Chain A
């Protein structure tokens, strides 16, 4: 598309030859355009975005999810994309939510609950809605100070997280209708974080446990488990301001 918003070409395919063909077509149309057609007549309006709530003095973490190794993987899934699928998201913490970590007090209950409620969803193979707050069964992230000085603190992280939901929904993109289902994830957390020079310089937190059930678009209708799943949080790159996918559930103002 042009910076003025005119569509040059579009595609919905993973076929590389087709993508290249459409890219060439788009560039051909771009070159044929008058310069004034390419650019917007007026400055772009600025609109509020979830990324505006980026916790500048807090912590932005990337959340990765992946199936853990298992012995009972259905034969049809061995060697194909679902065997190696992974997904990512973001988890944000504000400074005041992090202060307790350095004092061995862990995360505040509300922050731990937010983590479990949103990232206990199974999105390894596709999208899945977050849980509701009332569906959080357990959410605790503890910290233990391993090393402490005025400029450097090292903490060990541990905890438990469990979510569960029962209700009526579809579990297949196209082939089934709404029916009674349950879904859940329950596991143990462990990790390590380092605060140095006034900021968190290292952060690794793993949450490994058992997932069960499926939702309409998460690709689990033929593999609902129970099966092992891992959720890992690590520091986001320095300039990464991509908002968490359920940013509105943070309730930040």
Chain B
């Protein structure tokens, strides 16, 4: 993935410090928001109509006479790992 020009400038201006330490430069918060918030492609899986809890999924499965796909992990698949 190529780095856009504005990002290259930002990198040079803010993160050229030794060992990756952030230099004392004004925070370009808009650039940070744009960089950190996941892309639509990264969030594509969230477009599925997931229910946030097992209970909600079971109730929906019951109402629609369908089996339930439970995705469980150490954390919340729709929130923090």
Minimum C-beta distance from B13 to chain A (A): 11
Contact between chains at A232 and B33 (CB < 8 Å) = yes
Contact between chains at A226 and B21 (CB < 8 Å) = yes
Nearest CB in chain A to that of B58: its residue: A3
Nearest CB in chain A to that of B68: its residue: A1
What separation, in Å, do the CA atoms of A65 and B32 have in the docked complex?
11
Q: Knowing A3-B61, A27-B67, A126-B81 are in contact, say whether A206-B32 is a contact too (CB < 8 A).
A: yes
Chain A residues with CB below 8 A from B30, complex form: 204, 206
| B-contact 0/1 string along A221-253, CB 8 Å cutoff | 000011110111010000001111100000000
Chain A residues with CB below 8 A from B15, complex form: 68-71, 228
Contact between chains at B68 and A3 (CB < 8 Å) = yes
- Flag whether A77 is at the interface (Cβ < 8 A): no
Contact between chains at B52 and A51 (CB < 8 Å) = yes
- Flag whether A120 is at the interface (Cβ < 8 A): no
Q: How large is the interface on A (under 10, 10 to 19, 20 to 34, 35 or more residues)?
A: 35 or more
- Flag whether B5 is at the interface (Cβ < 8 A): no
Chain B residues with CB below 8 A from A35, complex form: 65
Contact between chains at B19 and A86 (CB < 8 Å) = no
Contact between chains at B67 and A1 (CB < 8 Å) = yes
Which of A44, A46, A191, A225 is the one whose CB lies under 8 Å from B19? A225
Which of A65, A86, A208 is the one whose CB lies under 8 Å from B42? A86
What separation, in Å, do the CA atoms of A241 and B56 have in the docked complex?
12
Q: Knowing A49-B53, A127-B80, A245-B80 are in contact, say whether A204-B42 is a contact too (CB < 8 A).
A: no
Contact between chains at B33 and A206 (CB < 8 Å) = yes
| A-contact 0/1 string along B45-63, CB 8 Å cutoff | 0000000110100110110
Q: Output the residue of A5, A47, A189, A228 with the most chain B CB within 10 A.
A: A228
Interface members, chain A 58-117 (any B CB < 8 Å)? 64-66, 68-72, 86-90
Minimum C-beta distance from A126 to chain B (A): 6
| A-contact 0/1 string along B6-34, CB 8 Å cutoff | 01001100111001111000010110110
Contact between chains at A65 and B75 (CB < 8 Å) = no
Contact between chains at A87 and B36 (CB < 8 Å) = no
| B-contact 0/1 string along A13-29, CB 8 Å cutoff | 00000000001001100
Which of A8, A47, A71, A228 is the one whose CB lies under 8 Å from B22? A228
- Flag whether A213 is at the interface (Cβ < 8 A): no
Q: List 20 A-B contacts (CB under 8 A).
A: A3-B67, A27-B67, A30-B67, A38-B67, A44-B55, A47-B55, A51-B52, A51-B53, A64-B37, A68-B36, A69-B7, A71-B11, A88-B79, A190-B32, A206-B33, A227-B21, A228-B22, A232-B33, A242-B78, A245-B75
B: which residues have CB within 8 A of A? 3, 7, 10-11, 14-16, 19-22, 27, 29-30, 32-33, 35-38, 42, 52-53, 55, 58-59, 61-62, 65, 67-70, 74-76, 78-81
